[in-house]
Amino acid sequence: MAPPFFRRRSLLPFPLEIFASGVARMLYRVRTTGRENFPREGGLLLISNHISYVDVVVLQLACPRPIRFLGHKGLKRNAFFNWCFEVSGSIAISSETPREGMRGAVEALKRGEVVCLCPEGHISRTGQLMEIQRGFEVIARQANAPVIAAAIDGLWGSNFSFAGNKYLWKSPRLLPTDVFIAFGEPTPAGEISVGWARRTLLDLGERAFNERPVLRGHLGRECVRALTKHPGRVMVVDRTAARRELTCGQLYAATAVLARRLRATVATHRVGIVLPPGAGAFIANLGVLCAGKIPVNLNFTAGRAALETSLRIAGIDTVISADALRAKLPNFPWPVRTLDLKAEMDAAGGKRAMLPWLVAAWLVPNQWCAALLGLPKIGDREEAGLLFTSGSSGEPKGVVLSHRNILANCAQIASLSILPSTCTLLGCLPVFHSFGFTVTLWYPLLRGSKVVTVPSPLETRKMIDAIRDEEVTTVVGAPTFLRPILKKAHPRELRSLDIVVTGAEKLPADLAKGFLELFHLEILEGYGLTETTPAANISQPHPPVVVSTNEPQTGRRAGAVGRMMPGMTVRIVDPDSGAELPLTEKGLVLFRGANVFGGYLGDPEKTRAAFRDGWFITGDLGRFDADGYLFIEGRLSRFSKIGGEMVPHGTLEQKIIEVFGWLPQESPAVFVTGVPDAAKGESLVLLTIHEITVEVLREKLGGVGVPNLWVPKIIRRVEQIPMLGTGKTDLKRCRELALEAAK
C-alpha cells in the first residue's frame, strides 16, 4: 500500500518538508506493508536495515508519524550532513561516547516520540545484513518502549548505496526507484534480543524483496530486452572447436528464428536440451523459452535408467541436440524426435531469416523487440525451466523453477560484488547443473556479462587456455573441477582472474590454501541447492574503505559459505523434534525466499516432505555466527546414529585422510557411509582407493583420539569413488557398493 501524498509528519521546517517530500516522491516510488502496526501515540523504537544514505528519507515517507533519527556523529564533520542533523532534529551518537547519544534517544522515547536507529551501526557496504549491535536493546529497555522492525528493499544499487564499491558517481536511474518497506509488529522491550532482531529483519526483508515488480516479469522477455539494449556487445565466446563470437544482436536474431520454428513444429509443452556449454546452449534455451515452451536440460552423464525416468517425468518427446554430440552418447535414450540444432536453424531459413531480426535489434526499441516475438509481460510463478536433481541419493526429482525463482536469484547475485556486468565469466559448468543453468546462462543474458565457454569442466587445459587468451576475470565451479587447475596452470596464465567461486561440495582447506599461495586468489565459497535456483549464500570480497567514516567490513569468513542472500530468511530447527533453535546453534537449516522452488514435478508426496510450514528443508546441518555467516556442518543424511551418538561421515573422512597422510587427489580417496545393523541400528562402511585393514585403521584413528565407536568395521577397496557429472559424489552408487560389502 502506498502512503498518502502528503501529511505533516517529519521534524523538518514546514517549507523544507514540502520541498523534500516532493523531490523524494519524484525519485522514489515507495510502497509499504504493516503501517497499521504503528501505535498512534507513545514512545516507539524503530529499527531498520541500513543500505544507503537515503534510508531515512524513504522511512519518513512511509512512516505515519514523525521520526527522530540516530546518526553517526562522524558525519557532522561534513557541512552538508551537519546541516541535515540540525534541521531534522537527529540525535548524534558515536562509538567513543555512546552514552550521550543513547541518553538522548531514551529521553525522546519517554517524551512519546518515534526514534529510529540502525542496529548494524553503519551502512552495509555488502548489501547484506551484518552484525547486530546490542545498543537498541539498552535504549528500548531503559525507556520501556516497544520496538518495531522495518526492512527496506530496493535502494541497493541506487546512487546513494555502496553498490559497485562506490558511493555516488553511478549512472542515474531515469525512472523512479521502486522501494518497498515492510514493517513488523510492536514487540515489548522485555522480549527483544539480538537474535530476535536478526530473525525479524530477515523475515521482513524476504517479504519486502518479494514485492519487487521485476519478479512478476517473464524471463524470456527480460532477456530479450537486455540483449537488444546493446546489440553490438559480444555476449558469448564459444571455444568448443574453432573460436567464434556471438554478439547480443546475433543471439537475439538466432533466438527469434528458432523460437518461430519450434512454435510451428513442436506441440509438447517441454523440450529436452542435450548440449554442452556454448553458443548452441544459449540459443536453444532462450529459443525454447521464447517459443512459449519449457527448456529441460538433461544430464547426459547420468545413467540410462535415470535419464529414462527424467524423460518420463517431464513428458518429453522432443530433444534438441547436435549430431556430433549424439554420436558420442550411444547409450543416451534418444527419443524418436531428436532435432539437430544446426539443421533446425537451416530449415528455418538460416542467416537469411536472421537478417531482419538483426536489423530490428539495432533499430527498434528493446521493449518492441520483445513484443515482436509475442512474449508476455507476466511470467511470475509460471514454470520457466525444469532441472533434475543429481539423483545422488535416489531417483532424480524434477525441480520446477518459475520465472520468479530465476529472476529473483539473478537479482540476488547481482546485489553482490562477485559478478558485475563488466566481468568476463568462464562458462564451463554443464547447463544441466543448477549453477551452470542460472549463473552461467540466464544471469549473463540478463546482466550483459560476457561468457567464454568451454565444453566441459573436465577439460582443464582448455579452461586454462580460455582464461589466458580471453582474459577471463571470474570462474565458478565445484572443487573437483578447480583442483586440476592448481596442478596444471602457471600463475601467469591466470593473471586476469579476480574472482573464483566454488560450490556443490565443501571447499577443502588445502585447495583454498593452494590457490592463495600459487595464484594469490582467495576462493569464495558458496552454498545452494537445485531447489534454491541454486544460490542461497555466496561469500564475497571484503568491501573497500573509501571514506574516513567507513569502518572495516567483511564479505567472507574462513569456513563459512557467506551471509544470506538478500530476500532470503532462515530457521534453524532441531532435526528430531523440529523445535526452533537460536540461529547460532547447530541444527537443520530451513529456507524461505523468492528463489525457493514451489515443488517437484508430478510428485506431491515428495513436495510435502520437502517443506515444513512453508519452509524448505535443506537436509543440511548448519549454524550462524554473530556476523550472520552460515557454517554448514554436514548433510543430515551423512550422519549415522550408532549407540545413541551421531557420527559425522565427513569429519571421519577427513580424520582418515589426515592420519594416513594421503595427498589430495583429483577425486576423493575415501568415502564413509552407514548401512543397516540389527544390533546398533547402523554400521559404518569405508570405501577407499587405498589398501588398508580394519586393524590398521583402528590403530591409526585411536592414536588421535577418535572413539572406537566411530571406526568403520567394513572396508571395501574401489578403483575410484563414484562421481557425478556435476562434480558431486554419487551417494546412491556409493551406498550400493557399501551394501554389497556389508553382505
pLDDT of 433 above 60: yes
Q: Are residues 293 and 393 in the same domain?
A: yes
pLDDT in tens, 677-697: 766 667 888 888 888 888 888
pLDDT of res. 483: 87
CATH of the domain at 155: 3.40.1130.10
Give the pLDDT confidence score for residue 702 in this predicted structure: 80
Per the domain annotation, does 196 fall within a domain? yes
Domain co-membership, 88 together with 180: yes
Mean pLDDT of 11-40: 73
Which of 211, 233, 261 lies at the terminal end of a domain, its last residue?
211
Identify the CATH number of the domain in which residue 649 sits. 3.30.300.30
Q: Which three cell numbers stand for residue 192?
A: 527483544
Can you tell me the distance from the alpha carbon of 182 to that of 74, in angstroms, rounded to the nearest whole number? 29
Q: What's the Cα-to-Cα distance from 437 to each of 58, 234, 551, rounded to whole Å?
A: 36, 20, 37
Percent pLDDT > 90 in the chain is 48
Decide the pairing of beta strands 67-72 and 177-183.
Answer: unpaired
Please check whether residues 243 and 103 belong to one and the same domain.
no
Q: Which pLDDT tens digit goes with each residue over 347-372?
A: 988 899 999 999 999 999 988 999 99
Domain count, the chain: 3
Q: Cβ distance 555 to 541 under 8 Å?
A: yes
Mean pLDDT score, 75-83 = 57
Residues 484 and 349 in one domain: yes
The owner of cell 531469416 is 353
Instruction: Please check whether residues 597 and 712 belong to one and the same domain.
Output: no
Q: Shortest CA distance to 388 belongs to which of 374, 399, 376? A: 399
> What pLDDT was estimated at residue 548?
59
State the residue range of the domain holding 77.
14-211
What's the pLDDT score for residue 689? 86
According to the model, what pLDDT value does residue 737 have? 84
Work out the burial of residue 611: count CB atoms within 10 Å of its CB; fewer than 13 is exposed, 13-18 middle, 19 or more buried: middle
pLDDT band at 410 (very low <50, low <70, confident <90, very high): very high
Residue 533 and residue 448 share a domain: yes
Residue 4 is predicted with a pLDDT of 46
pLDDT above 70 coverage of the chain, percent: 88
Q: Are residues 293 and 162 in the same domain?
A: no
377 and 245 in a common domain: yes
Alpha-carbon distance of 156 to 5, in angstroms, equals: 24
Which of the pair, 555 or 162, is modelled with greater confidence? Answer: 555
- CA angle at residue 269 from 264 to 275, to 5 degrees? 85
Residues 593 and 650 in one domain: no
